[in-house]
Amino acid sequence: MNLNNFKRYLFLFSIFFSFLYSYEKPFTIKAKLSDFFYQDSSARKIFKNYEMLTSFEGSYEVYKYSKVKFHAFVEYGFLKADGFDKNTLTIFKLFLSPLSFGLNTEFIVNNTLSIYLKTAPNWMYAQVKHDYEAPPNKISKSTIGGTFGLGLLVHLNDRAVFDLFFNYLYDSKKITDSSSEVTFKPYFGGFQLGYGLGIKF
């Protein structure tokens, strides 16, 4: 490569990277923590009233009109909990994992604050282990539900954002117990109240 070609490529790369730096960052990645409150009354009796749910979200700005932005997002979370049934003296272990993909609508208040609404279908995976029977029994189920959310964004600078949010996850499924043949319909979903930190790029 001769010197003139090198200078040409260097000039093109400098324009490209200056464009990336000046352009409003359309991608955002967030790490979030939230208190998850079970909707199912039986779950609230066996486990604590709420557990910590960890989630990660990636979003992309697909359209902007005036002070409204529309983002496509995908979010994955997981929760592990230990519980105890006082009536049967049974120890339970729970694993929940919601996966959502949908649309986030952001309303810009000013340069620092934004309010957003989100709605999405979700896929919820639930696994419950208990020692009521020998050997210990494990039930794994998945279902399709919905995620609905409201949040406040604080834009710390051009790249960092702080997120305060409230979500409702609706997920339920009919389950038939293999030993008793009893059918019941537990709610895997619940309410989230939490915060997160994101990076735009």
Bigger pLDDT: 139 or 65?
65
**95 in Cβ contact with 136 (< 8 Å):** no
Average pLDDT of the residues in 23-47: 84
Supply the pLDDT for residue 176.
55
Predicted local confidence at residue 175, as pLDDT: 60
Mean pLDDT to the nearest integer, 142-164? 94
pLDDT at 20: 46
Pairing state between β 175-176 and 183-184: antiparallel
Q: For the chain, which domains are there?
A: 23-200 (2.40.160.20)
Q: Tell me what pLDDT residue 155 has.
A: 95
Of the ranges 61-65, 84-88, 110-114, 142-146, which one carries the lowest mean pLDDT score?
Answer: 84-88
Q: Tens digits of per-residue pLDDT, 83-108? A: 888 777 778 888 999 999 999 999 99
Q: Is the dihedral of CA 56, 62, 64, 70 positive or negative?
A: negative
Identity at 78, one-letter amino acid code? F
Provide the pLDDT confidence category of residue 25 given band limits of 50, 70 and 90. low
| Residue keyed to tokens 């923590």 | 33
Percent of the chain with pLDDT over 90: 50
pLDDT score at 194: 97
Give the rounded distance of the alpha carbon of 117 from its chain centre: 14
Give the pLDDT band (50/70/90) at residue 19: very low
Distance of CA 91 to the CA centre of its chain: 28
pLDDT, averaged across the chain? 83
Confidence of residue 143 (pLDDT cuts 50, 70, 90): confident
For 170-189, the pLDDT digits (tens) are: 877 666 555 555 555 567 78
Compare 90 and 19 and report the one with higher pLDDT.
90
